[in-house]
Amino acid sequence: MNDARYRALTAGAAVVSAALAIVIGVQLSGYGVPVSLLLACCLSCVATFSSLLFRVIGAWSTTTHRCTRPGCDFRVSLTRTDSADNRRWREIAAHHPHRTH
């Protein structure tokens, strides 16, 4: 995933979180909830939704290359890379040096 796409996704996640919080806030205001409590509730909703979405985006934009040799747990995790980078790191993971005993 490239930088522009990552930025667009995180901006989208922030907007979605804010929109969800506003919807909840509007619904709560119908019950005569005081403004200070309404604000606290909306802010915690924004924090919860955005951290959840950022986590999903982070997991999405991370690629892990593992060594294929049995018993070897060497791995490389990459965030926000393009396909050329991905290919290079896949080869590095496949050909990394092994310790010999």
**Where do contacts with Zn ion occur on this chain (CB under 5 A)?**
67, 69, 72, 74
Considering beta carbons, is residue 28 or 67 the nearer one to Zn ion?
67
Q: How far apart are CA 25 and CA 44, in angstroms?
A: 11
Q: CB 65 → Zn ion: shortest distance, Å?
A: 11
Q: CB 75 → Zn ion: shortest distance, Å?
A: 9
Maximum Cα–Cα distance across the chain:
72
Q: CB 61 → Zn ion: shortest distance, Å?
A: 25
Quick one: which of 86, 4, 17, 89 has its CA closest to 53?
17
Considering beta carbons, is residue 67 or 76 the nearer one to Zn ion?
67
Considering beta carbons, is residue 16 or 72 the nearer one to Zn ion?
72
Q: How far apart are CA 69 and CA 99, in angstroms?
A: 12
**How many angstroms separate the Cα of 71 from the Cα of each of 66, 68, 75, 89, 95?**
11, 9, 12, 20, 15
Q: CB 97 → Zn ion: shortest distance, Å?
A: 9
Considering beta carbons, is residue 68 or 83 the nearer one to Zn ion?
68
